[in-house]
């Protein structure tokens, strides 16, 4: 085999056709000699995608979960700053594969937590779903900041909901679900509790009150829920934003030159107070640990009086509280939400596409799933021929923003009509009280360890 | 605020463990070593094997490299490709059961849990039924009442035999799917009538009421193929 034979330019003279043939033949020869290498890389990608999906899902399936209800007291005179601290403590529980066997045999991945609000016919509850193994640590962290809030283990309330779209049909329920995403670069923070706080009592505001008010409007037989699935990201994520901070730090120069002849120069411009503030906010945001999250909201109602306007516009409005014009804001991810019509790509079977999207997001909601498509395995497994898994957009926000999105409502919120509260104050026994009985007798008062 | 700069992409290499990096290094290094050692051998063999630096020697040298690249290394990779291709399908098959239920018309979640009614013909029921009808046909108030009560007890017994658990008839009936039984709705009405008779002292029923409720029971017996 002689390479030069197949290259038209050298044998048959220089013309446009020969050049084209020449390139084509060079490509063919190149592929002839290396095709197995490219096949190797492509098949490797698919194979490892499938392998990791299999192992990781097996790992996730083994985790035992606990759903805790946050029973809030009559009055919490505490700012969301404490919840920020709690989420920082939660971030420290991040796990990841450390060794080959953990990565390939156990399939260990970062565990996901979920903080939730649910409204059953207007009665709003707060929940948290955590792995049973980490329950003690998370309870300790939470109760040290909110000693008055009771954490009660309950049976998973998702079992009360229809488990799939057929169940919902049989109960004559219609579903609306959507996810929210950040419209701009995740390095830019949303408005957080720090902006809502004010020394002046009249100007204080708690964004949770909007969520509570919207959710309390749910009528009989209806259900509304919000969940934020949280996955702690590695600390090294914050360094990805360095170029943006660098750009903001760079001094700006005026376009008009000053001076004469060789002494011409561009004068440096002062940064406006707004720009300085922005830089400060961004750096403050990046100084905190980051969670990758999916905020998801759901509305279930009988088909007869199904009106998703309350959920769609109300909750969108609640999320809109966190938007600031020059920073970042949440947007409703219409490409995954359950209202596609014939005007949306691919223009056929709108009813079936609506059904599959409802089914998909209901499954995700019940399983607190992420549904992202970071690698090819997830994309293939989670796609349906009418609804490819392409449009999920995980949101990277700092603990500060997560705490603003979800925290026990402070004393600024009117909770009495909407939630079931614990009416009395809880105080532990004082230290050093005499305990009568054997040492072993104390053990039964400790929470049961899972085996 | 407008920002031109883009986020840094995370480097993939540090994500790998040290041992994985070493495996990749050894793999690639071994392949390169194999290839270049063969190039060296071919070079020595062709150019110092008596031919000297001639066109024929060059041709033989190129042919040797071609062979090593395409058949030795290429062959190794082709075997690897085929193995990985098979493994890919194996892994996809293993992971498929963890996939969420993505169907347009998924089966209901309580599919296996619902009690299935196996039709069972029982001649004793028909014998009993004849007695009940004969009793009702006498037309007296007492007999009509007891006929309805007895028919209800008969149905209760029948459902018990079919394997429905529960404390009383209403609990057993509620386990039936109203969509799969056309005659279930009238049975509920008949059962309510029977409850009225039993629990309300001095209640009276008309002949029409008794007839309707007995018809309801009969139709239900027929649908479940008791007779």
Q: What are the structural domain ranges in chain B?
A: 16-98, 123-223
Mean pLDDT by 10 residues, chain A (451 residues): 49 68 84 94 95 94 94 87 94 92 93 94 93 94 91 92 91 93 92 85 85 90 94 90 89 82 82 87 92 95 88 91 89 89 85 93 94 88 91 93 93 80 73 71 68 51
Q: Is residue A441 in some structural domain?
A: no
Neighbours of B73 (CB within 10 A): 17
Q: What is the C-alpha separation between A53 and A159, in angstroms, rounded?
A: 26
Positive or negative: CA dihedral A428, A429, A432, A436: negative
Q: What is the C-alpha separation between A172 and A301, in angstroms, rounded?
A: 8
Q: How far is CA B67 from the centre of its chain?
A: 52
Q: Is the peptide bond before B65 cis (omega within 30 degrees of 0)?
A: no
Reported residue count of chain A is 451
Name the strand (E) or helix (H) holding A174. Answer: strand A173-182
For the ranges A211-220, B3-12, B41-50, which has the lowest average pLDDT?
A: B3-12
- Interface membership of B1 toward A (CB under 8 Å): yes
User: Whose CA is closest to A404, among A312, A297, A285, A314?
Assistant: A285
Q: Which residue has the higher pLDDT, B102 or A252?
A: B102
CB B69 to CB A33 under 8 A? yes
Find, in chain B, the residue whose alpha carbon is nearest to that of A46: B88
Q: In this predicted model, what pLDDT tens digit does every residue of A350-393 receive, in sequence order?
A: 999 999 999 999 999 999 999 888 889 999 999 999 989 999 99
- Interface membership of B78 toward A (CB under 8 Å): yes
Find, in chain A, the residue whose alpha carbon is nearest to that of B86: A47
Question: Are residues A292 and A225 both part of a single domain?
Answer: yes
CB A40 to CB B80 under 8 A? yes
Q: What are the distances in angstroms from CA A263 to CA A58, A266, A267, B104?
A: 70, 10, 12, 74
Question: Are residues A10 and A92 both part of a single domain?
Answer: no
Question: Are residues A15 and A156 both part of a single domain?
Answer: no
Average pLDDT over residues B127-148: 86
CB B77 to CB A352 under 8 A? no
CB A240 to CB B109 under 8 A? no
Q: What is the DSSP letter of A384?
A: B
For the ranges B23-37, B121-135, B170-184, which has the lowest average pLDDT?
A: B170-184
Q: What is the C-alpha separation between A191 and A324, in angstroms, rounded?
A: 6
Per-residue buried b or exposed e for A90-102, using 16+ beta carbons within 10 Å of the residue's own CB? bbebeeebeeeeb
User: Whose CA is closest to A52, among A393, A392, A375?
Assistant: A375
Question: Are residues A67 and A28 both part of a single domain?
Answer: no
Phi-psi region of B186 (alpha: psi -120 to 50; beta: other; left: phi over 0): alpha
- Interface membership of B18 toward A (CB under 8 Å): no
Q: How far is CA A230 from the centre of its chain?
A: 5
Give the residue from A166, A327, A338 with the most B CB atoms within 10 Å of its CB, the best one to mutate. Answer: A166
Q: Is residue A297 in some structural domain?
A: yes
pLDDT for the residue numbered B119: 64
Q: What is the C-alpha separation between B211 and B185, in angstroms, rounded?
A: 16
Neighbours of B180 (CB within 10 A): 11
CB B8 to CB A367 under 8 A? no
- The residues pairing with A293 across neighbouring beta strands, listed in sequence order, are A230, A395
Question: Are residues A13 and A112 both part of a single domain?
Answer: no
Q: Is residue A244 in some structural domain?
A: yes
Q: What is the C-alpha separation between A332 and A57, in angstroms, rounded?
A: 28
Q: Is residue A440 in some structural domain?
A: no
Which B-chain residues 93-112 have CB contacts (< 8 A) with chain A? Answer: 94-96, 98-110
DSSP A29-68: HHHHHHHHHHHHHHHHHHHHHHHHHHHHHHHHHH--EEEE
pLDDT for the residue numbered A199: 76
Cβ contacts of residue B124 below 8 Å, gap of 6+?
Answer: none
Q: In this predicted model, what pLDDT tens digit does every residue of A211-239 receive, in sequence order?
A: 999 999 898 889 999 999 999 999 888 88
Across the interface, of A44, A247, A278, the residue whose CB is closest to B5 is A247
Q: Are A336 and A179 in contact (CB under 8 A)?
A: yes
CA distance B212 to chain A (A): 30
For the ranges A151-160, B72-81, B164-173, B183-192, which has the lowest average pLDDT?
A: B164-173
Q: Are A72 and A124 in contact (CB under 8 A)?
A: no
Question: Are residues A82 and A226 both part of a single domain?
Answer: yes
> Which residues does chain B have within 8 Å of residue A58's beta carbon, measured at their own beta carbons?
98
- Interface membership of B56 toward A (CB under 8 Å): no
Question: Are residues A132 and A219 both part of a single domain?
Answer: yes
Across the interface, of B5, B81, B105, the residue whose CB is closest to A243 is B5
Per-residue buried b or exposed e for A296-312, using 16+ beta carbons within 10 Å of the residue's own CB? bbbbbbeeeeeebebbb
> Which residues does chain B have within 8 Å of residue A387's beta carbon, measured at their own beta carbons?
102
Q: Is residue A434 in some structural domain?
A: no
Q: Please count the CA atoms within 13 angstroms of the CA of A64 that sit on its side-chain side.
A: 8
Q: Which stretches of A34-172 are assigned E, i.e. beta strand? A: 65-71, 113-120, 123-131, 150-154
pLDDT for the residue numbered A2: 45
Per-residue buried b or exposed e for B34-56, using 16+ beta carbons within 10 Å of the residue's own CB? eeeebeeebeeebbeeeeeeeee
Domain tally for chain A? 2
Question: Are residues A248 and A397 both part of a single domain?
Answer: yes
Neighbours of B176 (CB within 10 A): 19
Q: Are A33 and A3 in contact (CB under 8 A)?
A: no
> Which residues does chain B have within 8 Å of residue A356's beta carbon, measured at their own beta carbons?
102-104
Q: What is the mean pLDDT of chain B?
A: 87
What's the whole-model pTM score?
A: 0.79
Q: Are B35 and B68 in contact (CB under 8 A)?
A: yes
Q: What is the C-alpha separation between A245 and A284, in angstroms, rounded?
A: 11
Angle at A18 between CA A13 and CA A24, to 5 degrees: 140
Question: Are residues A90 and A32 both part of a single domain?
Answer: no
Question: Are residues A232 and A317 both part of a single domain?
Answer: yes
Q: What is the DSSP letter of A254?
A: -
Angle at A298 between CA A296 and CA A299, to 5 degrees: 160
pLDDT for the residue numbered A394: 93
Structural domain boundaries, residue A155? 63-257+270-424
Question: Are residues A31 and A165 both part of a single domain?
Answer: no
Q: SS3 of A83, please?
A: helix
Reported residue count of chain B is 227
Question: Are residues A91 and A188 both part of a single domain?
Answer: yes
Angle at A323 between CA A318 and CA A329, to 5 degrees: 105
């Amino acid at each position: 085999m002689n390479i030069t034979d197949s290259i038209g330019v050298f044998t048959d003279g220089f013309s446009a056709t020969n050049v084209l043939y020449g390139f084509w033949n060079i490509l063919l020869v190149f592929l002839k000699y290396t095709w197995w290498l490219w096949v190797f890389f492509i098949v490797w990608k698919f194979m490892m995608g499938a392998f990791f999906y299999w192992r990781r899902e097996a790992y996730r399936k083994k985790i035992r979960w606990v759903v805790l209800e946050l029973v809030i007291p009559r009055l919490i005179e505490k700012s969301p700053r404490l919840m920020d601290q709690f989420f920082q403590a939660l971030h420290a529980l991040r796990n990841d594969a450390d060794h080959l066997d953990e990565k390939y045999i156990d399939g260990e991945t970062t565990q996901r937590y979920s903080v939730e609000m649910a409204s059953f016919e207007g009665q709003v509850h707060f929940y948290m779903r955590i792995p049973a193994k980490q329950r003690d640590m998370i309870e300790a962290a939470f109760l040290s900041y909110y000693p008055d809030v009771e954490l009660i283990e309950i049976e998973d309330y998702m079992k009360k909901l229809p488990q799939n779209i057929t169940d919902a049909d049989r109960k004559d329920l219609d579903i609306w679900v959507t996810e929210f995403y950040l419209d701009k670069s995740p390095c830019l923070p949303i408005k957080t509790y720090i902006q809502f706080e004010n020394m002046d009592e009249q100007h204080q505001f708690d964004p949770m009150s909007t969520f509570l008010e919207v959710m309390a409007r749910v009528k009989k037989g209806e259900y509304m829920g919000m969940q934020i699935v949280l996955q702690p990201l590695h600390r090294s994520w914050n360094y990805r934003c360095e170029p943006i901070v660098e750009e903001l730090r760079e001094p700006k120069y005026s376009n008009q030159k000053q001076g004469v002849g060789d002494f011409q120069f561009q004068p440096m411009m002062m940064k406006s107070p707004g720009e300085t503030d922005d830089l400060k906010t961004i750096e403050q945001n990046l100084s905190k640990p980051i969670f990758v999250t999916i905020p998801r909201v759901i509305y279930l109602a009988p088909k007869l009086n199904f009106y998703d306007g309350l959920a769609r516009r109300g909750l969108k409005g609640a999320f809109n509280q966190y938007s600031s014009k020059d920073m970042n804001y949440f947007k409703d991810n219409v490409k995954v939400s359950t209202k596609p019509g014939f005007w949306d790509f691919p223009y056929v079977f709108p009813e079936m596409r609506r059904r599959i999207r409802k089914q998909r997001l209901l499954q995700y909601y019940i399983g607190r799933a992420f549904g992202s498509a970071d690698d090819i395995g997830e994309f293939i497994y989670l796609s349906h021929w009418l609804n490819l898994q392409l449009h999920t957009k995980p949101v990277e926000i700092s603990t500060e923003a997560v705490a603003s999105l979800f925290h026990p409502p402070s004393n600024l919120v009117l909770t009495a009509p909407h939630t079931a509260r614990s009416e009395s104050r809880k105080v532990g026994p004082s230290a050093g009280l005499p305990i009568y009985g054997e040492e072993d007798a104390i053990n039964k008062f400790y929470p049961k360890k899972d085996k | 605020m407008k920002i031109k700069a883009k986020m840094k992409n995370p480097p993939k290499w540090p994500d790998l463990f040290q041992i994985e990096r070493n495996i990749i290094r050894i793999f690639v290094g071994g392949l390169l070593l194999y290839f270049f050692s063969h190039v060296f051998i071919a070079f020595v063999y062709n150019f110092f094997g008596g031919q000297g630096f001639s066109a024929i020697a060059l041709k033989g040298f190129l042919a040797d490299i071609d062979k090593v690249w395409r058949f030795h290394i290429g062959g190794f990779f082709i075997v690897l490709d085929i193995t990985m291709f098979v493994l890919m399908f194996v892994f996809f098959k293993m992971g498929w059961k963890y996939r969420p239920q993505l169907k347009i018309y998924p089966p209901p979640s309580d599919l296996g849990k619902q009690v299935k009614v196996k039709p069972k013909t029982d001649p004793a029921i028909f014998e009993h039924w004849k007695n009940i009808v004969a009793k009702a046909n006498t037309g007296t108030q007492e007999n009509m009442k007891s006929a309805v009560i007895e028919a209800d007890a008969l149905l209760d017994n029948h459902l018990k035999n079919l394997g429905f658990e529960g404390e009383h008839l209403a609990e057993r009936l509620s386990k039936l799917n109203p969509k799969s039984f056309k005659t279930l709705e009238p049975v509920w009405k008949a059962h309510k009538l029977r409850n009225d008779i039993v629990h309300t002292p001095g209640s009276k029923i008309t002949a029409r009421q008794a007839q309707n409720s007995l018809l309801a029971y009969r139709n239900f017996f027929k649908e479940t193929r008791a007779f």
